[in-house]
Copies of this chain bind each other. A is one copy, B any other.
Amino acid sequence: MLHSAKNLLTHMSRRAFNQQIGKAAGMMALSASLPAWPYQEKPEKKLGVALVGLGGYSTGQLAPALQQTQYCKLAGIVTGTPAKEKIWSEQYGIPHKNIYNYENFDTIADNPAIDIVYVVLPNAMHAEYTIRAAQAGKHVICEKPMAISVQECEEMMAACREAGVKLSMGYRLHFEPHNQEVMRLGQQKVFGNLTFVTCEAGYQIKDNWDQWRLKKALAGTGALGNMGVYAIQGAINVVGENPLYVTAQEFKTKPEKFKEVDETVTLQFEFPGGTVANLQTSHNARMNRLYAAADNGWFELVPYSPYQGIQGKSSEGALALPQVNQQALQMDDFAYYILHDKPTRVPGEMGMRDVQIIEAVLQSAATGKKVPLKNLAF
């Protein structure tokens, strides 16, 4: 299941990789997280990716990552800001015919250079552009959270199903070696049953109080959908089960700033196998850690979820694993599975499950009651 770690070999020389491995003191057996490499064949062509929304994540992470990919490449952009067209065209050699705005976006259906549309817009626009991309016959990858309601998620999945295109989520940590290793440690019970997991992901908004992430109409939720998704994923990923119940609490230290959406949320999961998780997220506090206690040991990632610099250790020593380009691996994985018509490991159903959990979290925080997590999509 966790078979992309070796992918990092496409992003660093084998010698550099082996040197990192050689340096590793007390590391876990890396080979265990490197199952058979699935990407045997060279692609006949690289799939073309169009980024929809050219904000900080597209500019700082996705576009550079798509210069390092083997199975896909940055081929197009969709932007509402004409000034960006020239900048991106020059920087990445994007031809004029592959540049769209939000009015002519649907004509992308006629462009064979675009195979994949990556939706990097504010949360409330995910559903519309995922559905329009699917209807244009394009495979879609969508940033988290998948949408601002479960209903939207269902509509997005239905549109992709009807169009016969694949839908994936931008859950980059599934392609990161430290995260893959703790999934292995937890799911394979390397230290025995997990008894307790804590996961936290948050940062502090200190200025730019007009940003869309603070507006309910655009963001749906605040910290919960933006960073809480990482905490939710972290716990579920290492336990390898969906939780049965959630309890949650919401707090506002700065209610005058966080008027429309949540600021700080704590939540607890109960898993079928008995694991308990206590999670926290905030847009008013820096926090970033995944920690799991098991019957025979423990493991943790600190920090857990940045683009670079993830580090881990266990009760047996450091997890000495390489740094990779998470977004490049994520995009190559999606492209490979499109090329081979196999399911992605981070499908729309996983994104919908997390939105189902987010809705249950808000319900529990509002009512004070434990909420059962039933009929999860993934």
Is A196's CB under 8 angstroms from B284's CB? Answer: yes
Known: A204-B293, A368-B368. A285 touches B196 (CB 8 A): yes
Residues of B within 8 A of A280 (CB): 196, 198, 278
Is A278's CB under 8 angstroms from B278's CB? Answer: yes
Residues of B within 8 A of A287 (CB): 196, 198, 291, 293
Known: A195-B253, A196-B264, A276-B253. A293 touches B298 (CB 8 A): no
Is A298's CB under 8 angstroms from B278's CB? Answer: no
- Check if A275 is an interface residue, CB within 8 A of chain B: yes
A336-B270 Cα distance, complex, nearest whole Å = 49
Known: A287-B196, A298-B286. A274 touches B293 (CB 8 A): no
Residues of B within 8 A of A289 (CB): 291
Contact of A293 among B268, B286, B291, B369 (CB under 8 A): B286
User: A199 → chain B, closest Cβ, in Å?
Assistant: 11
- Among A276, A368, A370: residue with most chain B CB under 10 A: A276
Task: Say whether chain A's binding surface is mostly helix, strand, loop, or mixed.
Answer: strand
Is A274's CB under 8 angstroms from B254's CB? Answer: yes
Known: A251-B270, A287-B291. A282 touches B195 (CB 8 A): yes
- Check if A249 is an interface residue, CB within 8 A of chain B: yes
Within 8 A of B (CB), among A232-291: 247, 249, 251, 253-254, 264, 266, 268, 270, 274-276, 278, 280, 282, 284-287, 289, 291
Is B247's CB under 8 angstroms from A282's CB? Answer: no
Within 8 A of B (CB), among A198-253: 198, 200, 202, 204, 206, 247, 249, 251, 253
Is B247's CB under 8 angstroms from A249's CB? Answer: yes
- Check if A295 is an interface residue, CB within 8 A of chain B: yes
Is A276's CB under 8 angstroms from B264's CB? Answer: yes
A289-B290 Cα distance, complex, nearest whole Å = 13
A370-B278 Cα distance, complex, nearest whole Å = 17
A253-B272 Cα distance, complex, nearest whole Å = 10
Within 8 A of B (CB), among A51-99: none
A287-B275 Cα distance, complex, nearest whole Å = 14
A284-B204 Cα distance, complex, nearest whole Å = 33
Is A285's CB under 8 angstroms from B274's CB? Answer: no
Contact of A285 among B202, B282, B293 (CB under 8 A): B293
Is A295's CB under 8 angstroms from B369's CB? Answer: no
A194-B166 Cα distance, complex, nearest whole Å = 45
- Among A202, A249, A254: residue with most chain B CB under 10 A: A249
Residues of B within 8 A of A200 (CB): 198
Residues of B within 8 A of A286 (CB): 293, 298
- Return the 9 tightest CB-CB contacts between A and B, nearest first: A196-B285, A285-B293, A253-B274, A251-B276, A195-B285, A266-B278, A278-B280, A195-B284, A286-B293
The 13 sampled A-B contact pairs (Cβ below 8 Å) are A195-B253, A195-B264, A196-B264, A196-B282, A196-B284, A196-B285, A198-B287, A204-B295, A253-B274, A254-B274, A264-B276, A266-B266, A278-B280
The residues of A with any CB-CB pair to B shorter than 8 Å are: 195-196, 198, 200, 202, 204, 206, 247, 249, 251, 253-254, 264, 266, 268, 270, 274-276, 278, 280, 282, 284-287, 289, 291, 293, 295, 298, 368-370
Given A206-B295, A287-B291, 12 additional A-B pairs, CB 8 A: A195-B204, A195-B284, A196-B253, A198-B280, A204-B295, A249-B268, A253-B274, A253-B276, A266-B268, A276-B285, A289-B291, A368-B370
